[in-house]
Amino acid sequence: MKAKDLYIIEITKYKKGKHHIEFDITNDLIEKYQIENVNAVDVKADVDMIVDPNFLQLEISLNGTINIQCGRCLDYYNHEINHQTHLTVDFGDQTDDLTLINTQITINKKENNLILDKHFYDYISISMPYKPAHPEENGKSQCNPEMLEQLQKYSNNTTAKQTDPRWDKLKHIFNNN
């Protein structure tokens, strides 16, 4: 089954009122969207949906873990995801699946299905840290110490920087004036 097939709400199946739907987001989403630096996904999406003849109101909660690559030591670690959002779906003459800033999309009123895979991908992507790094425990990084040692060994950072003594004399003259 494709990722697109897994994250569908059959709109015609639900009558007016409130409904609860659960989705298990797994690695098929990574494969479809080729999410970089993500090794595995284990996220549960809880969707509370209010059905009205003119619109759908979805309250979406994503909870779980993604296995992402650390930006310091390049090992993978589990990062917790807890993301809540809402999505309003209006019915119109044509489908406009681009999410507006105010989290609103329009689908054709003849459409029977609401496909959520792209939205789940977006929500997971914005939940990822900008610079992923192992969390610290008791003030100590959980990064791979062997890799950090190798990075330190081959880095170009030098603690004692040699300067030209002529510049040092010029700096001394400048600082005394």
Q: What is the pTM of this model?
A: 0.77
- Does residue 34 carry a pLDDT above 90? no
In the sheet that holds 76-92, the strands lie side by side as 17-25, 38-51, 55-69, 76-92, 104-108
Which range is least confidently modeled, 111-125, 142-156, 158-172?
158-172
Residues 45, 25 contacting (CB under 8 angstroms): yes
pLDDT computed for residue 154 by the predictor: 83
Q: Which of the four pLDDT bands, split at 50, 70 and 90, describes residue 24?
A: very high
| pLDDT tens per residue, range 69-107 | 999 899 999 999 999 999 999 888 876 666 555 588 888
Which has more confidence, 11 or 165?
Answer: 11
Q: Which residues pair with 91 in a beta bridge?
A: 107
Q: What is the mean pLDDT of residues 160-167?
A: 73
pLDDT computed for residue 29 by the predictor: 87
Element (H, E) at 127: helix 117-127
pLDDT computed for residue 167 by the predictor: 80
Cβ neighbors of 142 (< 8 A, separation 6 or more) are 77, 134, 135, 136
Q: Give, rounded to a whole angstrom, the gap between the first and last alpha carbons of the chain.
A: 76
* Average pLDDT over the chain, rounded to an integer: 86
What tokens appear for 66 in the block?
């993604």
Q: Which of the four pLDDT bands, split at 50, 70 and 90, describes residue 161?
A: low
Which has more confidence, 27 or 172?
Answer: 27
Cβ burial of 62 (10 Å; 0-12, 13-18, 19+) is: buried
